[in-house]
């Protein structure tokens, strides 16, 4: 998938709020209210089926966020959306800063060691308390490499589709 066609997961619909179709959402943007600036929202309603939502409005409510989705005006219709992940088109996000990356941009790039040994391709990343971890797969094996720039991750070339890591290929 090209960068222009990629979607970025930014939140999830987690519950109902009131009786007029408002929904509680969880946001993974920073700050959390930034999610409302990214439009349209994309919901994957069935395999291969994406629903675009334009004009979603929301606000902080207690410790969370609540949102109004245009066309969702009652509790019953809103209930069907609970559990849906919220995506936005990658191109809606601002460019990352120097030495910063969106995870979606790293997925699929080739990973090689400093000795040019191919380890595989980035499958996905996940966060831990200490640092993010890049999951590299080569078809036979899966490696978990801490995404620590300078220590383990020596360079990332998004345009060339390559990440160089200081990592023992046997580990």
The residue extents of the domains of the chain are 3-92, 103-165
pLDDT at 1 over 90: no
d(C-alpha 167, C-alpha 171), whole Å: 8
In the structure, what pLDDT confidence band is assigned to residue 46 with cuts at 50, 70 and 90? confident
pTM of the prediction?
A: 0.78
d(C-alpha 146, C-alpha 33), whole Å: 29
Stretch among 6-10, 21-25, 46-50, 166-170 having the lowest mean pLDDT: 46-50
pLDDT at 4 over 80: no
- Residue 32: C-alpha distances to residues 7, 29, 42, 61, 123 (Å): 18, 5, 17, 12, 26
In the structure, what pLDDT confidence band is assigned to residue 112 with cuts at 50, 70 and 90? very high
Q: What is the distance of C-alpha 161 from the center of its chain?
A: 19
Q: Nearest-5° angle of CA 102, CA 44, CA 158?
A: 20
What is the average per-residue pLDDT within 101-127?
96
What is the helix (H) or strand (E) element at residue 75, kind and residue range?
helix 75-79
The architecture of the domain spanning 3-92 is Beta Barrel (2.40)
121-128 long-range contacts, CB within 8 A, separation 24+:
122/163
Q: Name the DSSP letter for residue 129.
A: S
- Residue 15: C-alpha distances to residues 23, 27, 162 (Å): 6, 13, 40
What is the average per-residue pLDDT within 64-93?
94
Class assignment of domain 103-165?
Answer: mainly beta
In the structure, what pLDDT confidence band is assigned to residue 135 with cuts at 50, 70 and 90? very high
């Amino acid at each position: 998938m090209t960068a222009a066609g990629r979607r970025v997961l930014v939140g999830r619909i987690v519950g109902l709020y009131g009786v007029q179709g408002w929904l509680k959402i969880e946001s993974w943007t920073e700050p959390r209210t930034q999610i409302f600036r990214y439009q349209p929202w994309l919901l994957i309603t069935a395999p291969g089926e994406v629903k675009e939502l334009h004009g979603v409005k929301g606000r902080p409510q207690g410790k969370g966020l609540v949102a109004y989705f245009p066309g969702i005006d009652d509790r019953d219709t809103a209930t069907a959306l609970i559990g849906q992940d919220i995506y936005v088109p990658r191109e809606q996000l601002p460019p990352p800063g120097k030495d910063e990356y969106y995870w979606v941009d790293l997925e699929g790039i080739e990973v090689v060691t400093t000795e040019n040994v191919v380890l595989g391709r980035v499958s996905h990343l996940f966060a831990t308390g200490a640092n993010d971890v890049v999951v590299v797969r080569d078809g036979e094996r899966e490696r978990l490499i801490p995404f620590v720039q300078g220590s383990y991750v020596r360079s990332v070339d998004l345009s060339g589709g390559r990440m160089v890591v200081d990592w023992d290929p046997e580990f």
